[in-house]
A and B are shown apart, each in its own frame.
Chain A
Amino acid sequence: MFDLQSVISDTGVRLCLDCGKCTVVCPVTRYDAEFNPRRIVQEVLRLNGRSPVSDTIWSCISCNMCMERCNYNVKFTDFIRFLRYKALEEGAEIKYSHGGAPQTIMHIMAHRETRQDRLNWLPEDIKIAKQSDTAFFVGCAPYFDVLFSDLGVSTIEGTRGALRLLNHAQIPFTLIPNERCCGRDLLLTGDIDGFLTLARANIHEFGKRGIKNIITSCPECYYTLKIDYPKFLEDWDITVVHITEIIAQVIETGELTLGKLEQKVTYHDPCTLGRYSRIFDQPRSILASMEGIEVAEISDNREKSLCCGASPWAHCGTVNAQIQKERLAQAGATGADILITACPKCQIHLKCAQKNAESNDVCQIEIQDICDLAARSLLPQEVS
């Protein structure tokens, strides 16, 4: 599908040889001296496809911090993705986290014959349009909450919150009962065939229902559907919006007014929503519109936001845990009661670090989804 020489020229990585600036901002390099974006490029150019590159290619967490720093517009994360694709082709084995369960779920979901039963979390109060060309794309939250039940995560609360906000704003939407995973984690680990099978299954579902617009609350799904699907698939003409874009807009026009909650919060920009998708202001304006909510900005915010230490469910280790610990400490330092995020995966990764902390120096701040918080402000308030 790709060849090394054209990937080298398309991504522009030759420029890295005389540079290395991003090494300073890369959170992985900070905790793992073995990992260095420029050195990876050097090694690849030296070997020139003759033998496989080192295992360090699996350590990149795709946080896109390097792209923020790079003066030459080098597409380093695309380059890493290609190296992984090639490594898989050459028989490399991925060190899957969580026993490989997420990948297995994605592969089973990809089957044409899969008929999921994935809407059991839907409460009665949420109203779904009988027919609409706008679909809400749920993402993998129903699976996450089972798989990571030991961590006490409830990412579906964020989804429920998002749907309640849409109901309040009177924006009609439908749901896709047999929606598949967007495939982002397969794409990031170089499993492009797996990714494409999922994408095609989704397109089939959308087509069958005449879907023209998609709203989603998961930044990973958002970016993948909006940016990657059109890159990989012809005839993709569905508009994709993130829930925070819509909600911020209806708040601005006065079509939705959020309620009151007395809480001091800090906001964590998920990499895929912030650096990748440039959605920095909308979540902040949602928070600002809520009476009683005090927002304390975290030290590394917006473009400089520190990643939650995520991995595409592979090669997760002590480096990831250290990044998570650092991010949690930054959140704790704001004095906020709650760390608000807009991504289910950030929630899982940060809670994992909290739960598996071996010492008591990991900040145990409460973590909550932005839509969950916003929807809760609309509940009838208890009168004290």
Chain B
Amino acid sequence: MATPYIEILVFACNWDGWSCIEATANLGVGYPASVKVVRVSCLSRIHAGLILKAFEFGADGVMLLGCESGRCLFGVNGEYIINEHEKARSILKILGMRQDRLVLVQLPAFSGQEFVMQVKNFIVEIERLSASRRAKITDPEPAQDIAVLSQQ
């Protein structure tokens, strides 16, 4: 069976995040073509609404790639994105889409190798999640059914 095409959207901050993407080119290490990178000025410009929108438009996974804590050029230090990331993960969970489809990755500048490794692992993880989701969809009833809850 052919491996399904897993679409990943990466929001990379303009600074350390983007430097990792550039480093992949400089080092000559490639990443799968199904990984699309969107460059943003700072991860603090990304909110739960945008992250969820990516899923609405068919992304299988979203990676938020930014600076390590203490390195943020704007001094925001990920506080905002950590909160939005948590919110979006909780929503994905309630939607039954699994929260691990969203990751926040904070790397040192120019970590090209590390980025490629992480994104490849992410794809493997999502393949696994998608397979279990497909199984769940053919299952007529949701896993958490009320019959297992407290009864009157």
Contacts and interface: CB of A to CB of B under 8 A. Distances in A.
B123 to A, nearest CB: 21
Interface in B93-152: 93-97, 133, 136-137, 141-147, 149-152
Contacts of A114: 95-96
Interface stretch (B11-19, B45-53, B71-79): B45-53
Given A115-B142, A115-B143, A122-B149, A104 B56 contact: yes
Nearest to B48: A101
> Which of B47, B91, B94 has most chain A Cβ within 10 Å?
B94
A150 B144 CA distance: 28
Nearest to A166: B152
A108 B55 contact: yes
Contact of A147 (B48, B141, B146): B48
B90 interface: yes
A147 B87 CA distance: 7
B49 A172 contact: no
Interface in A145-166: 146-147, 149-150
B52 A130 contact: no
Contacts of B87: 146-147, 149
A178 B141 CA distance: 9
Contacts of A142: 94
Nearest to B147: A130
Contacts of B147: 130
A116 B94 CA distance: 6
Contact of B52 (A108, A115, A124): A108
Nearest to B56: A104
A36 to B, nearest CB: 31
A92 interface: no
A93 interface: no
A128 B149 contact: yes
A142 to B, nearest CB: 6
A107 interface: yes
Contacts of A117: 93-96, 142-144
Nearest to A98: B49
A143 B94 contact: yes
Contact of A105 (B91, B136, B149, B150): B91
Which of A109, A115, A172 has the most chain B CB atoms inside 10 A of its CB? A115
Contacts of B141: 177
B42 to A, nearest CB: 16
A100 B48 CA distance: 9
B148 to A, nearest CB: 10
Contacts of A277: none
A256 interface: no
A357 interface: no
Contacts of B145: 177
A118 interface: yes
A115 B137 contact: yes
A116 B53 contact: no
Given A98-B49, A143-B94, A127 B151 contact: yes
A96 interface: yes
Nearest to A171: B152
A380 interface: no
Contact of B152 (A113, A119, A172): A172
Contact of B151 (A119, A128, A150): A128
Contact of A109 (B90, B93, B95): B95
A246 interface: no
A311 B87 CA distance: 22
A124 B47 contact: no
B56 A177 contact: no
9 contacts: A104-B53, A107-B56, A108-B55, A109-B95, A114-B96, A115-B142, A117-B93, A119-B144, A146-B91
Interface of A: 96, 98-101, 104-105, 107-109, 113-120, 122, 124-130, 142-143, 146-147, 149-150, 167, 172, 174-175, 177-178
Interface of B: 47-50, 52-53, 55-56, 83, 87, 90-91, 93-97, 133, 136-137, 141-147, 149-152
**A-B interface, 6 closest residue pairs, ranked by CB to CB distance from nearest:** A99-B49, A101-B49, A127-B152, A115-B96, A104-B52, A146-B90
